[in-house]
């Protein structure tokens, strides 16, 4: 249950974030992003994080890994809450929502590069954790 929910919500939130960055704050996409992102954060809060540093990740990166994962969830939840707040008509005095979406997409890109590096350079199968089992034969 946790694995399926996390994988599905992870990719759904990512695609919706790309659509928000590309197309602006389209309400239907915005609300879908809010719902999928907050559900993903709720699954992690209740059932725990699915990620781990893996046996081949060492040193500072190993120690930082759980904290960086938590930071990604905090960023996702924060941007989802601000998105929902603005879609509901609330006032936000921080950076424009379009900037928050771009910052989150940028952080997500760094997150993806890190896991691609882990999967290829370390050979620790990092991408298998977040891809559906039907895709494992291409990894």
Tell me the two tokens of residue 100.
């928050």
Cα–Cα nearest to 36, from 10, 18, 2, 75: 10
Residue 122: count other Cβ atoms within 10 Å of its Cβ. Answer: 15
Residue 38 confidence (pLDDT):
98
Residue 139 confidence (pLDDT):
61
For residue 118, give the H/E element and its range: none
Do 73 and 46 meet the contact criterion of CB atoms below 8 Å apart?
no
Per-residue pLDDT for the chain (139 aa), expressed as one digit of tens each?
888 899 899 999 999 999 999 998 899 999 999 999 999 999 999 999 887 788 888 899 899 999 999 999 999 999 999 999 999 999 999 999 999 999 999 999 999 998 888 888 888 877 777 777 777 676 6
Give, to the nearest 10 degrees, the angle between helix 97-117 and helix 59-87.
150
Pure H helices in the chain: 2-23, 27-47, 59-87, 97-117
Do 129 and 51 meet the contact criterion of CB atoms below 8 Å apart?
yes
Furthest-apart CA pair in the chain: how many Å? 47
Give, to the nearest 10 degrees, the angle between helix 97-117 and helix 2-23.
130
- The DSSP 8-state label assigned to residue 19 in this structure reads H
């Amino acid at each position: 249950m946790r694995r399926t929910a996390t994988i599905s919500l992870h990719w759904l939130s990512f695609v919706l974030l790309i659509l928000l960055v590309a197309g602006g704050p389209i309400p239907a996409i915005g609300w879908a992003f809010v719902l999928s992102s907050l559900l993903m954060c709720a699954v992690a809060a209740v059932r725990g994080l699915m990620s781990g540093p893996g046996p081949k990740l060492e040193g500072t990166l190993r120690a930082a890994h759980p904290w960086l994962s938590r930071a990604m969830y905090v960023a996702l939840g924060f941007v989802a809450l601000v998105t929902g707040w603005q879609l509901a008509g609330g006032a936000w005095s921080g950076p424009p929502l379009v900037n928050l979406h771009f910052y989150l997409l940028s952080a997500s890109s760094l997150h993806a590069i890190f896991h691609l590096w882990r999967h290829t350079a370390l050979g620790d199968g990092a991408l298998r954790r977040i891809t559906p089992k039907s895709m494992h034969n291409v990894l």
